[in-house]
Amino acid sequence: MIHPLENRYRTEIADIFEESSRINRMLQVELALAQAHVEQGTLTKNEYDLLFKSKSKVTVELVKEIEKETHHDTMALVEAFTRVSGCDKVHLGATSSDIVDSALALQLREANQVVLADLLILKNLLLSKAEETKNLVCIGRTHGQHAIPMTYGMKFALWAYEITDCLEELRRAKFYGKMSGAVGTFASFGEKGVQIQTKVLHDLGLSVPLITNQVVSRVFVAKYIFNLITIVSIIEKMAKEIRNLQRSEIQELAEPFAEKQTGSSTMPHKRNPILSENLCSLAKRVRTNILPALENISLEHERDLTNSANERIIIPETVILTHFMIKRITRIIVGLDLFPENIRKNVHIDPAIFMEKKMVELVTEQGLGRQEAYSRAKNFISKEKIDPEMYLGLSEQIVLKTIELLRSSE
């Protein structure tokens, strides 16, 4: 095995993109077309029954053997289906892309349901963590520097908010098939072409495009890949925060570390954030797939084949790796260790973090102008032990309101 998708990063979604699965979905589309022809009277019920009963006899091995002669994967499938069924009306009126694009839409729709289910688990986990830590005061950081106090609940709630937006995008995603023939004119289907396409796609549970050329517009494929890559980028954001907060000099939290796990082959004390680093590494790879997806939009004339080869790579790779990353970040969050003592200690490292509050007090209580108060506050260093909770503003309310709204959105 060369590609780590085959083992190291494989999830159950990979089964959807196996060659046998692809062929089965192409057969599913061919049968839906045959059923539509029965309704139009261009295929008999007996002929359809022959096709239906023989679909299991179309194997990957047979299709690949025929493809050696045809050098055309769809035509190899059509020939194989014709041979095993004895029906010579397979693929009637269709062009290859009618079958290939509709089969791809079936794969993406099924994979999307798996992604949605696990993304929802992640969202609810983040909301639970937000609720658990809504009062866990920590230092907020901007530009890598201490800013003012906040809570861990705000971190988890923000991540849940971003994930919820992605969930909504995936729920709205449409998976378009087509059955409009060469260049999309329905010429091979005659006057009943629109009805045939509508019937086929409705039976398959796919969205019906308003118009196509010989392929479904790659705008829709690129949009879906972009949605997945957005999820990947949010996961990277979470993983990067965990890595930074696990630094030796910060040590506010740590990702899970098994009892017999090894951090370093030479330094026994190391507890490296390898799961989070792995996610950041994968994010770099997955994001690159948006470039060919966008370039696939500009096919020549009514279509060319420059999208086909790279889509066999970028589509399954993006979907599988996104799913892997969702499952891995979920595992990290479930087993996340928080160290409250270090969190409290870090809040008090720099007393100057309370300057903002002092500036506002100088304006509201002593009547100074904002700019003068700003200048004076620069020199304010309190020698008293200050309770950071006095400086949290509406943190708890924001977290609780976010949790309430995001949970009610389901």
Residue numbers annotated as active site: 143, 264
Q: Is the dihedral of CA 338, 340, 346, 347 positive or negative?
A: positive
> How are beta strands 137-142 and 145-151 bridged, if at all?
antiparallel
> Which residue in 311, 106, 318 sits closest to 231, CA to CA?
318
In the block, tokens 């890949």 appear at 225
- C-alpha 182/C-alpha 40 separation (Å) is 20
> Which residue in 111, 92, 100, 80 sits closest to 15, CA to CA?
111
- Per-residue tokens: 24: 């089965």
